[in-house]
Copies of this chain bind each other. A is one copy, B any other.
Amino acid sequence: MNRTAWVISTPLLSPQSMVESYGEGARLCSSPNPQVSLVFSSSRPLDLVELERLLEAVGWSRRPVRRVRRALEHSLITVGLWRHDPRVPRLVGFARCTGDGVLEATIWDVAIHPLYQGAGLGRQLMDYLIDLLREMGTERVTLFADPGVLPFYERLGWELEPNGHRCGFWYAS
């Protein structure tokens, strides 16, 4: 954990101000620094420029903002993890899923800013997203994992390739 990311003290959030700033259903994330409040929300609007910066920071290739906006609009759930600041909360994590909300949901674009990695935030982000899917009544959740993050998902209890299932990809280009 890069300490420089944690030195600015922010006031602790009251439940009321959390809902005001982050919307209904927002949830505090356990923070490695008691002076830093971290909040999950699936309803606070995302700033696409800020999201792009986050995704670039984790090393993902850029995608046109116009297409990303449409993809987010047509996602089943988008989740942001914000480092709270009463004036300008900062996006430090993200995930989204597509799906029918009943039988199937598929998780994409799970990202925690590198300065905030290694502190259990990814696990909490997945828990928050799964809880929302569970409330929705989704039966099965799926994802495609890079080799580098397989141990992460295994620790979270995901079944990798159950019954010999393999993932297939087809690219338009």
Contacts of A139 in B (CB 8 A): 67, 171-173
**CB nearest neighbor in B for A164:** B147
**CB nearest neighbor in B for A147:** B164
A-B contact pairs, 21 of them (CB 8 A): A67-B137, A71-B100, A72-B100, A74-B100, A74-B102, A98-B98, A106-B142, A133-B172, A134-B172, A137-B172, A140-B169, A140-B170, A141-B169, A142-B144, A145-B167, A147-B165, A147-B166, A158-B169, A160-B166, A160-B169, A166-B167
Tell me, yes or no, whether A103 is within 8 Å of chain B by CB: yes
**CB nearest neighbor in B for A140:** B171
Chain A residue total in the interface (Cβ 8 A): 53
Contact A168 B145 (CB under 8 A): yes
Expressed in whole angstroms, the minimum distance between the Cβ of A149 and any Cβ of chain B is 9
Contact A108 B98 (CB under 8 A): no
Task: List residues of A (37-55) whose CB comes within 8 Å of B's CBs.
Answer: none
Which residues of A approach B to under 8 Å, CB–CB?
63, 67-68, 70-76, 98-106, 108, 130, 133-134, 137-147, 150, 153, 157-173
Known A-B contacts A67-B102, A100-B74, A100-B75; A169 and B164 likewise in contact (beta carbons under 8 Å):
no
